Structure formats: structure tokens, C-alpha cells
A and B are shown apart, each in its own frame.
Chain A
Amino acid sequence: MDITIHTSSLPHDDPDASLAFYRDVLGFEVRSDVGQGRMRWITVGPAGRPDTSILLAPPAADPGVTDDERRTITEMMAKGTYGWILLATPDLDATFEKVQAGDTEVVQEPTEQPYGIRDCAFRDPAGNLVRIQELR
């Protein structure tokens, strides 16, 4: 079998704010943008690496999600315990400086972790935790 990880999704609560973060701050390219208002599905990914994408999607858009469940999901997003993703870069310090300059909420400066990696962390505009790890 030959399977790749093609697309993973993160929820947004303000599509324009999320788009601005992934496109302008992280420098991702926009691969598709469909829907309107809050119901927008935006596919982004790192330039030059078309094999892997992140889909920025409205949370709980499935009609099978109940109102209570939808409320729980939006509350978890707001308090920062819902979505997360792990990215990687060869130059963590330069990336950190660039993202920090983008007026992003910083959760952790570049730090050497006891389990053998070095990483930093931010919040995206929807409250998802974006952890960035150094490739070495």
C-alpha cells in the first residue's frame, strides 16, 4: 500500500482571520477556498509541498451534530482545549521571530524539551494550538 497523509483539518471561527494567519503569517499558499460567510472551507499548505494540506473548516458543520455538542465544541475552541497541530521547520528561531512579529498569541518561546526536541507554540486565531518543532 502507498498511502500519504493528504489533508488534515482544523476548525475556524472567523475564516478571514484564520486565512490571514496561515497565509500571511505562516506563509502558506491557498489551494482552494469554497463556501461563504462562516461556512467556508479553505485549503492551505506550505509552498513547494503540494502533498500535504490543512483544511480550515467551520466546526461542527455536520448536521448530525446537536446544538449541545456544537456549543461544547465552540466553548472548547474558545478555551483552547480543542484543536492542535504539530508543524516542523529547520530554522525554529527565525520562524518564531516571524510569527511573533505577526501579532500572534505566543504560548511558548523556543524551548529545549526533556524528551529530546526543541519547539515553540502559538495560538491560531480560532484558539487552536500550533506547535512548531525544530528539524535536526
Chain B
Amino acid sequence: MCQPEWRRARVQAQRLADLARLRRVRDRIDRHYAQPLNVEALAREVNMSAGHLSRQFRAAYGETLYAYLMTRRIERATALLRRGDLSVTEVCFAVGCGSLGTFTTRFTELVGMPPGALRRQAADAVAGPADAGGAARAAGCASTVEGMPACVAKHVTRPVRIREAVVAGQRLA
């Protein structure tokens, strides 16, 4: 008599367990973004097929696993480039990208300028007071998140890949 209820509860419990597994995959990418992670290996660790994991990840988080990984790498790359003591090639390898071409393309796509341009802009913002504010803003430098709690700062400075998120942000502003 109660079986439909039980079934629903079982389905929901399974769904929560699946979501928790996806969270672990996502956290693993956050932690080990600089290692040569691939979707197959990540899927094996949580006993899923690569195709199933990719579909589930996208359904839960709105972007593909590979896109999430590249976004994390580029997020870290922008931080390293702003420091100014590493070349673009060094940064590319430091964040786990094997190909400078792919890195530059994805970087430009996400940040809106090539990695070399961001590095120069960050250096200019530090060097000269003339238009330093503008350059700093464009480079999304530390001053724009000063005083924010670290969790929020981390999110605010993240490159946004999901198009809907950008549109929503503009509407709010």
C-alpha cells in the first residue's frame, strides 16, 4: 500500500547520493586542477562511466566537466599572471595545460583578452598611477575585492563561463 511512497523515498535518496558523488568530483577538480586530470579517470573513481558522469555533471552544475576544469585552470592562471613573475608559457604549464595554443584560446574566450595582454595590463596597473584604476578594474585586481570575505572574493573573481549567469548579472546591475 505504501510502496509508491517507499519508491519515491528510495529514488530521492539515490539522487542525493549521486549529487554528493558529483560534488566530490567537482571538489577534486578544484583541489587538483593543475594535474593532468581526465574525465575517464575521474569517472572511474566514483564508479561511473565517463559519458554518464559528464551528463550528470552538466545536469547538476550547468557546465561540462571539462569546461569546469578549464575554468579552474584559467582562474588560477589569471592569478599567477597578475603576480607578474612568470611568463605566459610558465603559467600555462603551471596550471596543468599541455598546449599553449589551447590555453591561449580558452583564456581569451573566458577573460576577454589574451594572457599576455592581461599580464601587461596588471604590470601597468602596478607601475603607473596614470589610469591605474581603469587598468586595475579591467584586470579585476585585488583592490576590487578588498574587505570581502574570502569565500565571496573567490566567487567574484572567478571567470564566468555559463552565459545565463552573465546575462543575469547584467540585469541586476
Contacts and interface: CB of A to CB of B under 8 A. Distances in A.
Given A80-B27, A109-B31, A123-B27, A114 B157 contact: yes
Interface stretch (A20-28, A37-45, A71-79): A71-79
A79 to B, nearest CB: 4
Interface stretch (B16-24, B43-51, B104-112, B123-131): B16-24
B145 A115 contact: yes
A79 B19 contact: yes
A116 B145 CA distance: 10
Contacts, number: 67
A82 to B, nearest CB: 11
A86 B31 contact: no
A115 B26 contact: no
Contacts of B30: 107-108, 121
18 contacts: A71-B12, A78-B19, A79-B19, A79-B20, A84-B151, A105-B24, A107-B27, A107-B30, A108-B30, A113-B79, A114-B78, A115-B142, A115-B145, A115-B153, A117-B153, A123-B27, A129-B151, A133-B150
- Cβ-closest 9 pairs across A and B: A78-B19, A114-B79, A80-B23, A79-B19, A78-B16, A115-B142, A107-B27, A78-B20, A115-B145
Given A78-B23, A79-B23, A107-B27, 8 more contacts: A86-B151, A107-B31, A114-B78, A114-B142, A115-B146, A115-B150, A123-B27, A131-B154
Interface of B: 12, 15-17, 19-20, 22-24, 26-27, 30-31, 60-61, 78-79, 82-83, 142, 145-146, 148-151, 153-154, 157
